[in-house]
């Protein structure tokens, strides 16, 4: 649906083509447990499974005409701590089902910051402002439709920052998809 709650987050802020989430986040749900397994307990299989579920839901929709899946990047310090990017694991699971390649050499996170889970809406936007850059020597994206992938969308600050950067510097379209909407 064009006017779903995830798409509405971006209305009047950044012109994404469409946005969607697989689930509405509920405390104590099985999906919260799977996300926590992925993010905090090193369970990559949980991320692959969630990505595959996302891929099955998106495969025969508007999102299937995207050219690339681009996971929201982690800062290199967080990547070293965790050992993997949870958004990339989800994107790779979705890619297995959708047959759309994952591109990890387009965006980079330039600043390390603390978790946003306890931040206000305003603090989240301040926290990610200027936090992303295009990677040096990135491929040409002219005419491409990019599907940004993340684990959870709350205020949309992170996805908005990534989308604004892509749309400002590249001749492309941007869609967003996450596992959960909180």
pLDDT, the chain, mean: 90
Q: Is the pLDDT of residue 128 over 80?
A: no
CATH of the domain at 149: 3.40.50.2020
- pLDDT class of 123 with cuts at 50, 70, 90: low
pTM greater than the 0.85 cutoff: yes
pLDDT tens readout for residues 144-153? 999 999 999 9
Q: How many domains does the chain have?
A: 1
pLDDT at 117: 62
- Residue 67: domain span: 5-111+120-181
**Burial of 148 from C-beta contacts in 10 A (0-12 / 13-18 / 19+):** buried
Report CA-CA distances (Å) from 111 to 8, 25, 43, 48, 143.
28, 27, 25, 27, 29
In the chain, which ranges are continuous DSSP H helix?
Answer: 5-10, 30-40, 44-58, 76-82, 86-98, 121-128, 157-169
Average pLDDT (45-58) is: 97
């Amino acid at each position: 649906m064009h006017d779903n709650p995830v798409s509405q987050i971006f209305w009047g802020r950044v012109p994404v083509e469409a946005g969607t989430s697989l689930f509405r986040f509920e405390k104590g749900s099985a999906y919260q447990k799977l996300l926590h397994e992925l993010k905090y307990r090193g369970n990559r299989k949980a991320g692959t499974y969630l990505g595959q579920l996302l891929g099955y839901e998106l495969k025969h929709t508007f999102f299937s005409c995207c050219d690339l899946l681009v996971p929201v990047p982690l800062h290199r310090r967080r990547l070293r701590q965790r050992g993997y990017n949870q958004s990339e694991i989800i994107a790779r699971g979705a890619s297995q089902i959708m047959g759309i390649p994952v591109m990890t050499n387009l965006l980079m996170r330039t600043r390390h910051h603390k978790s946003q889970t306890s931040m206000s809406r305003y603090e989240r936007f301040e926290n990610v402002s200027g936090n992303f850059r295009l990677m040096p020597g990135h491929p040409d994206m002219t005419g491409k439709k990019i599907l940004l992938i993340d684990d959870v969308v709350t205020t949309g600050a992170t996805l908005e920052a990534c989308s604004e950067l892509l749309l400002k510097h590249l001749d492309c379209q941007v869609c967003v998809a996450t596992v959960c909407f909180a």
